[in-house]
Amino acid sequence: MLAYITGRFRNAAILLVLASMLCFGLVVSAPGNVAVLIAELRTPGATFAQIAAIEEELGLNDPLPTRYWNWLSGVPEGDFGISYKTGEEVGAAMARRLSVTATLLGGAAVFACLFSLIMGFLGALRPHGIVDGLTRAGALIGASTPQFFLGAMLIYGFALKLGWFPTFGDNLGLRSYILPWITLGMLPGCVLSRLVRVGLEEEMTRPFALTARAKGLRRTAILFRDALPNIAPAWLTALGAQCTAMTVGSVVVEPLFAWQGVGAMFLQGVQFRDFMVVQAGLLIFISFFILLNLAVDIAVMMLDPKLRRQGGR
């Protein structure tokens, strides 16, 4: 098992290095000269001498390996460079916004987990019945609805018409979080609910479930006590994939609800061609994907006895 975990950490470290190279390469290969953009922001109608001075100041004339190393060496300390647009440290700005995004993703993940388990369990409790049909239709609609459209409809219905929740910001306590959590967690929750429903139905056809039914145990007890733990590894793996999708969705949901998180900052960096912000945002997102999948792999191995035996060899 220790060898398996060590190997997973080694692979994650390699992927992180490759991810940093990819982020740097994408930004460097972007068309245009960022020095011209900065010069125009500082002094409209900047001269060639001013542009050349900015290129020298930012190290844009250095060889690519040198530029990459200068950027990467500061990343472990939280130094992602200086924002071309605002002039502030990107790492400090990201750190201030990280708690907002973490709260949004954490709440949405909890909502997706609870929603998927409840909907999947209700469908499996009375298979092929009315409730099962409704949960199946609801999951299909929820998984097919774009997040920006769902968020707009929630704002219109529950904020503007009913006035139950605020339309933007996070300054009204828990009520400010409800609509963003639902918007971001609905699609993953619907996808996971179908996995739970199908997985539970498959488990109920296995010999242990048939034997339990023959002994007189209720279907509810078998589903909850025996079938649900058996689908936990597959459900957890799918949850990890959906959490990475939610991270991408935060780029849309944060501006929609006027949340000042990392996703909104990344989108602003793309709009204003603030390459240092884009580099930092890409690296943070990809690093989160890699580390989350590492944690999921280890957790799944702990839950699945077969994988534990394989990892222990």
48-86 tens-digit pLDDT: 777 777 777 667 777 778 878 877 887 887 777 777 777
Residue 45: partners with Cβ closer than 8 Å, 6 or more residues away? none
Higher pLDDT, 313 or 237: 237
Mean pLDDT lowest among 13-22, 41-50, 128-137, 177-186: 41-50
| Token digits of residue 263 | 């996703």
Tell me which residue has tokens 């910001």.
169
Question: Average pLDDT for residues 31-55, to the nearest whole number?
Answer: 69
Amino acid present at 203: E
Short-list 278, 289, 279, CA closest to 247: 289
**What's the mean pLDDT in 219-246?**
83
Flag whether pLDDT at 177 surpasses 80: yes
Among the ranges given (73-82, 179-188, 199-208), the one the predictor scored with the smallest mean pLDDT: 73-82
110-127 pLDDT per residue, tens? 999 999 999 888 888 888
Q: What does the pLDDT read at residue 312?
A: 45
Q: Are 282 and 26 in contact (CB under 8 A)?
A: yes
Mean pLDDT is lowest, of 162-176, 246-260, 298-312, for: 298-312
Q: What percent of the chain has pLDDT over 90?
A: 3
- Direct distance between the N- and C-terminal alpha carbons of the chain, in angstroms, rounded to an integer: 7
Angle between helices 262-271 and 232-256 (to 10 degrees): 60
As a whole number of angstroms, the distance between CA 132 and CA 219 comes to 15
The pLDDT of residue 114 is: 92
Q: Give the bridge partners for 89, in sequence order.
A: 82
Lowest mean pLDDT among 33-42, 149-158, 178-187, 262-271: 33-42
Which 3 state secondary structure label does DSSP give 57?
helix
Give me the residue label for tokens 């060899």: 313
Instruction: Give the residue from 65, 66, 104, 71 showing the smallest Cα distance to 90.
Output: 71
Contact 201, 259 (CB under 8 A): no
pLDDT band at 264 (very low <50, low <70, confident <90, very high): confident
What percent of the chain shows pLDDT beyond 70? 87
Question: What pLDDT is recorded for position 313?
Answer: 47
Residues 6+ apart with CB under 8 A from 138: 119, 190
pLDDT of residue 144: 86
Question: Tokens for 71?
Answer: 């950027």
Domains defined for the chain, CATH in brackets: 2-77 (no CATH), 91-272 (1.10.3720.10)
pLDDT attached to residue 85: 73
Instruction: Tokens for 214, please give them.
Output: 């023959």
Degrees to nearest 5, angle at CA 57 with 55 and 61: 45
- Distance separating alpha carbons of residues 237 and 299, to the nearest angstrom: 9
Rounded mean pLDDT of the chain? 81
pLDDT the model gives residue 110: 92
pLDDT digit string (tens) for 123-175? 888 888 888 888 888 888 888 888 888 888 888 888 888 878 877 766 667 77
Q: Return the pLDDT at 115.
A: 92
| Of residues 177, 161, 42, the one with CA closest to residue 104 | 177
Q: With 70 as the cut, is the pLDDT of residue 304 above it?
A: no
Q: pLDDT value at position 171?
A: 62
